[in-house]
Chains A and B, each alone.
Chain A
C-alpha cells in the first residue's frame, strides 16, 4: 500500500497547486487597492503575501480535508489525489493565462471528483453534498456579496457626497487597505487549509498517517509558505482584469467591495461553508460598480468570467480524469511520473506563451483596451 515516491510527488504537486492558488487569488484582495493607487503594486502583493502566511497559521482548527463529505474518502488513493491536483493546476494556469479570475477551490474539487470518477465510478461521489455545499453556495455567494457591496457603495457615496474627491479619497484609501488586509488574512486561512487538507488526505490514503489525523505541522508550514510565495509573485493578469477590466474603481468603492468580501467570507466560514474567495470578491467588485453613478461595468468581461465559473468544475474534472487515466494506464509509480512530466510540460508551455503578452507590476494599471495584456491586439482569444 505504501509508496513513498508517489507520496513525495503528491506533496510537491499539492504545494505547486497551492502556489498557483496564491497568485491566482492575489487580485481578490489587492486588485482594488492597486487600481486606486492606495498601495503600490509591489507593496500590495508583499502585504498580501505576508497576511496569507499569517492567516495560514491563525486558525486553531485545521480541517482534516476539503474532500470529506464530497467523495468517499475510504476509496481515495495517492494517485487519485495526484491526478485531481493535476486537473486543478491546469485549470488555474489556463485561466490565469486568459486573465480570468476563477475559483481555485472549484478547480481543486473538480479535479479530485474527476479523478475519483475515473478511479472508482459515480458511487464514490456524494452528489447531493456536492450540489448543496459547493454548487448552490457558488451561485448564491457572488449575488449576496454584490448586493452588500452595492449597498455599502451607495451609503458611502451618499454620506460623503459633499466632500471634495481628493481628501475623501485619502481617508478611504486607508480604510480600503484595511479591508483588503482582512480579505488576505481570510484567504490565507481558508485556501491554505484546502491544500493542508488535500496533503493530509493523501498521507492518510498512503498509510503514512492514521485515519482521522489532523494536518502535521510541516504540512501547515509548507502550505502556508507556498500560498504566500504565490501571492507575493502576484497574478498580475488576474489583478488587472479585476482592478481595471471589470469596472473602473475609486477608493470608496474599493473599500465597500473589500469590506463586503471580508464579511461574506468570514461569515460563511463561520457557518461551515467553504466559499470561493474569487466568486465573492468578483461579486463585490461588480456590485460596487453598479452602485456608483458613472462607473462603467463591462458586462462582456463579467459574462466571460461567469462562463468560466460554470465550466470550472467539469473542465478540471475532465483533466483530473484524463490524468488518472494516463497514470493508471501506465501503472503505479512510472504512470504518476509520466503524468507529472506531462503536467510540467503543459505548465511550461503556458508560461512561455504568457511571456509574449506579459502583464507585470509596471503595466498592471494601464488603461483597459480589451485584451488583458496592455498593447496586445484584440483578438478572438482576448477578453472583449
Chain B
C-alpha cells in the first residue's frame, strides 16, 4: 500500500490543509465580524472614528495577524522549494 500512497503525507496534507485552507478563511470571517463591518460599508469612515471597542479591534487585529503570518510562511515554503 505504501508503495502506491504515502499515507503519512496524505493525512498531513489533509490536517494542515484544513487548518490553513479552511481555518484561515474562518479567521478572516471572525476578524470581519469583530470589526462589525460598518466601516467597510462606508469607505470614507476610518475604522477608529466609528468608535469600536478596543477589545473588538484587538480580536480583529489578532485574526488578521495570524492570517498574514500564515501567508508569510506559505511564501517561505515556496522559496525553499519542495521536499
Contacts and interface: CB of A to CB of B under 8 A. Distances in A.
A162 B30 CA distance: 12
Interface string A167-198: 11011100100110010011001000000000
Interface stretch (A27-35, A261-269, A295-303): A261-269
B17 A144 contact: yes
B17 A175 contact: no
B33 A264 contact: no
Interface residues of A, number: 57
B40 A170 contact: yes
A61 B77 contact: no
Given A59-B79, A159-B29, A271-B82, A259 B5 contact: no
Interface residues of B, number: 40
**Dominant SS among interface residues on chain B:** helix
B59 to A, nearest CB: 12
Nearest to A271: B9
Contact of A152 (B5, B22, B78): B22
B41 A263 contact: no
A149 interface: yes
A266 B22 contact: no
Interface of A: 55, 58-61, 63, 128, 131-132, 136, 140, 144-145, 147-149, 151-153, 155-156, 159-160, 162-164, 166-168, 170-172, 175, 178-179, 182, 185-186, 189, 252, 255-256, 259-264, 266-274
The 3 closest A-B pairs by CB, nearest first: A263-B21, A61-B81, A152-B22
